[in-house]
Amino acid sequence: MEETSREAVATAVQRVAGMLQRSDQLDKVEQYRRRESRKKASVEARLKAAIQSQLDGVRTGLTQLHSALLDVKDIQNSLADVSKDWRQSINTIESLKDVKDAVVQHSQLASAVENLKNIFSVPEIVAETQQLIEQGELLQAHRKLMELECSRDDLMYEQYRMDSKNTSDMSLISIYFEDVQGLSDELAKQLWMVLQRSMVTVRRDPTMLVSVVRIIEREEKIDRRMVDRKKQTAFIPPGRPKRWKDKMFEVLEGTVSTRIEGTQAVTREADKMWLVRLLEITRKYVLDDLIVVKNLMVQCFPPHYNTFNRFFSLYHNAVSSRVNELAAEDLEANEIVSLLTWVLNTYKSVEMMGHPELCSECDINQLEPLLPQDVVDDLLNKYVKTFTSNITGWLRKALETDKKDWLKDTEPEADQDGYYQTTLPAIVFQMFEQNLQVAAQIDGNFKEQVLKLCLKQMNSFLMRYREEVVAYKEEHIRDRQLPQCYVQYMIAIINNCQTFKESINSLKRKYSQSSEPTDSDAAIERMLNEVAKEGCQFLLDEVFLDLEHHLNELLTRKWLMGCHAVDTICVTVEDYFNDFNKIKKPFNQEMTSEALRRVVVEYIKAVMQKRITFKNADERKEGAERMIKEAHQFKFLFRKLAAGEDTDRLCGAIAAIAEVFKLTDPTLLFLEVPTLVSKYPDIREEHIQALLAVRGDASREMRQMIIGTLSENKVSYSGVTQPIFKEITVPTITMTTMTTMTSMATAKLLK
């Protein structure tokens, strides 16, 4: 208390010090004193009130405790009196055992009397129930059946209570009510028949289906009641629990399975489209049935049955089983495609399980796959093997058909731009397109796989195509009169290569997700270019076979005397190229350039073969001017044929050689020959030797000096431009040739 008083005084001093910090506050001391007095009086009043309230509560509690103590004493006295009375009445209770037995017997007799009327009328009720079942009055029949079963079960229960070991009385009751079980079975058959026709019944008479569900629900309640009583008494009537609800779902499952299995109307032998028809019928049945379930059948079942989802699962499982059975059969390639397309695409599309009317009730993404992935993979592998075999046969047959066209006496057809072509590319890529369209329906990855397979087969096919083209050319060489349209069909073959390229690119753009070129693409591109270039080469060979005689006349005495070999060559080339105009780009351009190069090379070969040696300056001048004129003829012709930028350079080689021949002063060869070499660095020493030999006026020492000068100032060949002299060989004079030539000269002199 002293410590509390000190703390209070210290606090008061602090408050007073806070109030009187300035001298002008001393005038308010009285005001402060009255304010603090009021606060003190208020605190004391609240404190007194709180203490008084606590005291009143304590007083009330003590009063209640006192009353409770009195009540406990009264209860204790009452319990003592009850205990005393119970001890005194034990003997009396034991003497009432007979009364207890009488009560039990009275209860049994009362139950027997109560059911007596039903017991005597059992045969009549059985007959009525049977009649109601036959008439389809299932609810009424079930009510009668429940009455019979209730009477039987009550009697059996009372008998069980009296003497559970007395089987004879229990058997007597069972025999008397034996028809009841038959009625139950007959009613169940009627219920299952209605459920088996539930899709039809719900449309025509939904009340019948509702009645069936109500009966099953009643039986479920009775089953539960009997099972609960068995837990208490160990007694359960015969035939219980019936489990009609479980049986109902089994029947519905069997009905759905039968519905799906019964969709096959035809077999493969009767109709090749049997599987397509089967799958379409299945799709229609499943969709129609589920819409009926959603709109009608759901209303006939209790909500807790989750009817739609249950039927949705039943149909899914039934379809899955049926599809697995189909997958296990020996399906053909087109049937595998039809099945997988249906399973992977159609099934979950808006045409079936994803239909707008069904989506609101279920999530199709939660469905298990109809076919396991390993089965799908097996089917795809089987399809790929069959497709590979089929497409090999198709391509072989298409090529054989095209080969027959090559031998025709009529020209091949032309496209809208006038280019010759055959039907081979269209046939091949129609096959590819059809199979890729089918593969695209199945799966994107499978589509890529089929595309790669098509390109692989295309590569193999082009190898055979190339072999057949070479054989076609060799057959023609043996008899150039046959086939009559060899040139036209070879042009069509070249154009086919370009069409193949365009078609392959079109397929890749349409069906491939990757735009990156592959090794297979490069191989096909290379093979097509080779076939086309070989075709062009074969055509040029045909041209030069016709030109061979005229080319042999070049740079001969006959040529120098004024033959028309070059005129004929130009006319023949132009005539051929009127047909070659029907070759597609870029091969027509390449072919024209190659034709010019070969003409120039053959011309220069004629020079290098030293068919003529100019005897004097006049012959050299005349020959040179003729060469320059013919070079201009070639240039004019091939510019007209659009041979390309290299025309001037190639034709210029002839003119440059002519300039070497045209020189009147041999000493100027030291300047002209290096100029020729600088323009055409692929020219070799033997070429220079041959040119000087044709001139006929260059001494051996001059030739050696010119060659020596060229060797010292050798020009390296960069390979940027197409070589001209590289493939031109200069014939060498052997000892045998020299002997032969000497003999021929001697014989000529003797004559």
Whether 438 and 485 share a structural domain: yes
Do 101 and 242 reside in the same domain of the chain? yes
Question: Cβ–Cβ contacts within 10 Å for residue 436, how many?
Answer: 21
Q: Which of 133-147, 266-280, 466-480 has the highest mean pLDDT?
A: 466-480
User: Which pLDDT belongs to residue 115?
Assistant: 61
At a CB cut-off of 8 Å and minimum separation 6, what does 542 contact? 480, 486, 487, 490, 576
* 235 domain residue, yes or no: yes
Same structural domain for residues 96 and 124? yes
pLDDT of residue 747: 44
Count of other CB atoms within 10 angstroms of residue 218: 16
- Final residue of a structural domain among 211, 246, 281: 246
What pLDDT score does 677 carry? 86
Please tell me the distance from the alpha carbon of residue 261 to that of residue 409, in angstroms, as a whole number.
Answer: 59
Q: How confident is the model at residue 112 (pLDDT cuts 50, 70, 90)?
A: low
Tell me, what DSSP letter sits at residue 360? Answer: T
**Which residues touch 627 (CB under 8 Å, ≥6 apart)?**
654, 655, 657, 658, 661
Lookup result for tokens 């269209």: 426
Q: Which range (74-88, 242-256, 354-368, 449-463) has the least confidence?
A: 354-368
Q: Which residues contact 173 (CB under 8 A, 6 or more apart)?
A: 152, 155, 156, 159
Q: Which of 106-110, 277-281, 449-453 has the lowest mean pLDDT?
A: 106-110
pLDDT band at 446 (very low <50, low <70, confident <90, very high): confident
User: Which has more confidence, 263 or 412?
Assistant: 412
Tell me if the bond preceding 206 is cis, omega within 30° of 0.
no
Q: What is the CATH number of the domain that holds 647?
A: 1.10.357.70
β-bridge partners, 414: 420
Question: What pLDDT, on a 0 to 100 scale, did the predictor assign at position 159?
Answer: 72
pLDDT of 3 reads 82
- Asked if residue 17 is part of any domain, the answer here is no
**Where does a domain end: 509, 537, 565?**
537
Question: Residue 181's pLDDT is what?
Answer: 85
Q: Angle at Cα 256 formed by Cα 255 and Cα 260, nearest 5°?
A: 115
Give dist(CA 350, CA 343) in Å, integer.
13
> Across residues 426-440, what is the average pLDDT?
88
Structure confidence at residue 273 (pLDDT): 85
The pLDDT score that the predictor gives to residue 749 is 39
Residue 715 pLDDT: 61
pLDDT higher than threshold 80 for residue 174: no
Q: Does 97 have pLDDT greater than 90?
A: no
- Look at residue 717 in the predicted model and tell me its pLDDT: 56
Inside any domain, residue 723: no
State residue 471's pLDDT score.
93
For 394, the 3-state DSSP assignment is: helix
**Nearest by Cα to 176 from 226, 118, 106:** 118
Instruction: Indicate whether 707 and 587 sit together in one domain.
Output: yes
| Structural domain for 354, as ranges | 263-371
Phi-psi region of 516 (alpha: psi -120 to 50; beta: other; left: phi over 0): beta
Residue 387 maps to a domain = yes
- pLDDT score recorded for residue 716: 61
Considering the domain boundaries, does residue 731 fall inside one?
A: no
Structure confidence by residue, pLDDT tens digits, 608-640: 998 888 988 889 899 999 999 999 999 999 888
Q: 93 falls in which pLDDT band (50, 70, 90)?
A: low
Q: Which of 63, 40, 41, 43 is nearest to 51 (CA)?
A: 43
d(CA 224, CA 245): 12
The pTM of this model reads 0.65
What is the rounded average pLDDT of the residues 43-47? 87
**How many Å apart are CA 420 and CA 108, to the nearest integer?**
110
What token pair was written down for 569?
Answer: 């060559």
Share of the chain above pLDDT 90, in %: 22
Q: CB count, 10 Å around CB of 324?
A: 13
Rg (the chain; Cα; Å): 58
Cβ-based neighbours of 612, under 8 Å, separated by 6 or more: 555, 556, 557, 559, 560, 623, 694
User: Where a domain ends, among 502, 537, 572?
Assistant: 537
Q: Which residue matches tokens 């479920």? A: 220
Q: Report the number of secondary-structure helices (H) and strands (E) in the chain.
A: 28, 0
- What is d(CA 524, CA 521) in angstroms, rounded to the nearest whole number? 5
pLDDT confidence of 743, banded at 50, 70, 90? very low
Do 313 and 426 share a structural domain?
no
pLDDT the model gives residue 166: 66
CA distances to 610, 670, 696, 739 from 746, rounded to whole Å, are 21, 36, 21, 11
Q: Which residue has the higher pLDDT, 181 or 25?
A: 181
User: Scanning the structure block, which residue is given the tokens 């005495």?
Assistant: 557
Helix (H, G, I), strand (E, B) or coil at 414: strand
What residues does 420 pair with on adjacent strands? 414
What whole-number percentage of the chain has pLDDT above 70?
92
Tokens encoding 56: 């009143």
Which phi and psi angles does 420 have, rounded to 5°? -65, 145
Q: Mean pLDDT, to the nearest integer, of 565-589?
A: 89
- Whether residue 733 is predicted with pLDDT greater than 70 in this model: the reply is no
Together in a domain, 158 and 87:
yes
Indicate whether 512 and 584 sit together in one domain. Answer: no
What does the pLDDT read at residue 739? 41
Note whether residue 53 is domain-resident. yes
Question: Quick check: is 105 in a domain?
Answer: yes
Answer yes or no: do 509 and 563 share one domain: no
The mean pLDDT value of the chain amounts to 84
pLDDT digits (tens, 9 = 90+) for 634-685: 999 988 887 677 888 889 899 999 988 888 888 888 888 888 888 888 888 8
Query: Is 103 a domain residue?
Result: yes
Alpha-carbon distance 137 to 215, whole Å?
Answer: 12
Q: Where is pLDDT greater, at 400 or 1? A: 400
Clarify whether residues 43 and 134 are in a common domain. Answer: yes
Residues 530 and 569 in one domain: no
Q: Is 562 left (phi over 0), alpha (psi -120 to 50) or beta?
A: left
Regarding whether 661 and 530 lie in a shared domain, the answer is no
The larger pLDDT score, comparing residue 441 to residue 490, is at 490
Contacts of 721 (CB under 8 A, 6+ apart): 646, 649
Structure confidence at residue 4 (pLDDT): 81
**Could you give the angle at the alpha carbon of 481 between the alpha carbons of 480 and 485, nearest 5°?**
100
Preceding omega of 483 cis (within 30 degrees of 0): yes
Residue 725 has pLDDT above 70, yes or no: yes
Q: Length of the chain, please?
A: 751
Residues 42-56 have a mean pLDDT of 88
What gap in Å lies between CA 215 and CA 149, rounded to an integer?
14
The string of pLDDT tens digits covering residues 276-303 is: 888 999 999 999 999 999 898 888 898 8
Q: How do residues 493-552 score in pLDDT, each as one tens digit?
A: 999 999 999 999 888 888 887 777 777 888 999 999 999 999 999 999 999 999 999 999
Q: Is the pLDDT of residue 742 over 50?
A: no
Output the pLDDT for position 534: 92
List pLDDT tens digits, range 183-209. Answer: 888 888 989 998 888 888 888 888 888
The confidence score (pLDDT) of residue 573 equals: 92
* CATH code of 405's domain: 1.10.357.50
Identify whether the C-beta of residue 355 lies closer than 8 Å to the C-beta of residue 287: yes
Classified as helix, coil or strand, 420 is: strand
| Cβ neighbours for 591, distance < 8 A, ≥ 6 positions apart | 536, 539, 540, 580, 583
Judged against a pLDDT cut of 60, whether residue 735 lies above it is answered with no
Task: Average the pLDDT over each of 72-86, 512-526, 591-605, 706-720 and give the range with the smallest value.
Answer: 706-720
Number of domains making up the chain: 4
Within this chain, do residues 522 and 634 fall inside the same structural domain, yes or no?
Answer: no
